[in-house]
Amino acid sequence: MEPSTEWLGKLSELRAAGRPCAVVVVTAAAGSVPRETGARMIVAGGELAWGTIGGGNLEKLAIEHCAELLSRGGSRSGSVKYPLGERTGQCCGGAVTLFFETFAWTRRRVVVFGAGHVAQALGGLAHWLAADVLLIDSRDERAIQPPIPAERSYELLCVDAPEEEVERLPAEALVVVMTHSHALDQAVIERALGREPFRYLGLIGSRRKWQRFQQRLLRKGFTPEQLARVRCPIGVSKVSKEPTAIAISAAAELLEVATAAERRESVGESTG
């Protein structure tokens, strides 16, 4: 690997490990300075993980700034100018501008209630969703059809009361409800509507199914505003009823929602 691209390999390694990090680049230099423009380093866990911008107090201050940025969470970027004098304890006499960019490597979380044909097909798309996918089912694994494959790209949780798992999920989760039971579907939806909104809440089924659910939920005291949080039918296309086609359509919708939310958060953090 060429020296100029080694940092990309380290960044990829940290991403695979899920370790938040920050890249620091010398973007401007005037006078006597320890490193030239383009020099960079990567900081992870409050320590230097790769490269150098010249060592000394300048590097120490930059590492501390990285730690402070990473402690805020999310993705952040910005430049800081450092005169190489009193502030840094270095007597080079020049000035350096450093560009900081953090990488939180937060993984998307897709939670599917149900583990049938469509759920397993959706779980199989975990890599393309760039997400950790969890399937939750009330049945014993041996009773689930089709059989759960031994090697799979998703997690499986079998519990007696899946609806009780709703409260344990983070608000940024993308939640899809597609159990083997309409009664259980409704129980999960009720729990989901009774707490802070999820990033995505979808219910598999026809418009007629959702109309019946809405009537019952309204009688139970849920408001039209709460019901509007549910997407039903799910997916960007409602043409095919083939399980894999439904899963692909639902995955496309999940990607659309997740990407839009992440873009809004990124803009908010960079301007905050």
> Taking residues 75-81, what's their average pLDDT?
91
Residues 6+ apart with CB under 8 A from 100: 22, 23, 24, 62, 65, 66, 69, 76, 77, 78, 79, 80
* Confidence tier at 271 by pLDDT (50, 70, 90): very low
Show the tokens assigned to 61. 């201050």
Between 63 and 106, where is the model more confident?
63
* Bridging pattern class, strands 77-83 and 47-51: unpaired
Res 236: pLDDT? 94
Type of residue numbered 244: T
Report the distance separating Cα 202 and Cα 206, nearest Å: 12
Q: How is the chain split into domains, by residue range?
A: 3-103, 108-263
Q: Are 42 and 59 in contact (CB under 8 A)?
A: no
Report the distance separating Cα 154 and Cα 218, nearest Å: 34
pTM, whole model, 2 decimals? 0.70
* Confidence tier at 91 by pLDDT (50, 70, 90): low
Type of residue numbered 177: V
Strand partners, 23: 42, 101
Could you say which DSSP state residue 104 is in? -
* Confidence tier at 181 by pLDDT (50, 70, 90): very high
Say if residue 269's pLDDT is above 80. no
* 24-43 residue pLDDT tens: 999 999 888 888 999 999 99
Between 138 and 237, where is the model more confident?
138
Percent of the chain's residues with pLDDT above 70: 93
Quote the mean pLDDT of the chain: 91
* 184-201 residue pLDDT tens: 999 999 999 999 999 999
The kind and range of the H/E element at 203 are strand 200-203
Report the distance separating Cα 167 and Cα 192, nearest Å: 8
Report the distance separating Cα 178 and Cα 184, nearest Å: 9
* 207-233 residue pLDDT tens: 999 999 999 999 999 999 999 999 999
C-alpha Rg value of the chain to the nearest Å: 24
Give one DSSP letter per residue of 119-187, joined into a string: HHHHHTTHHHHTEEEEEEESS-GGG-SSPPPSS-SSEEEE-S-GGGGGGGS-TT-EEEE--S-HHHHHH
Architecture of domain 108-263: 3-Layer(aba) Sandwich (3.40)
Res 163: pLDDT? 97
* 157-180 residue pLDDT tens: 999 999 999 999 999 999 999 999
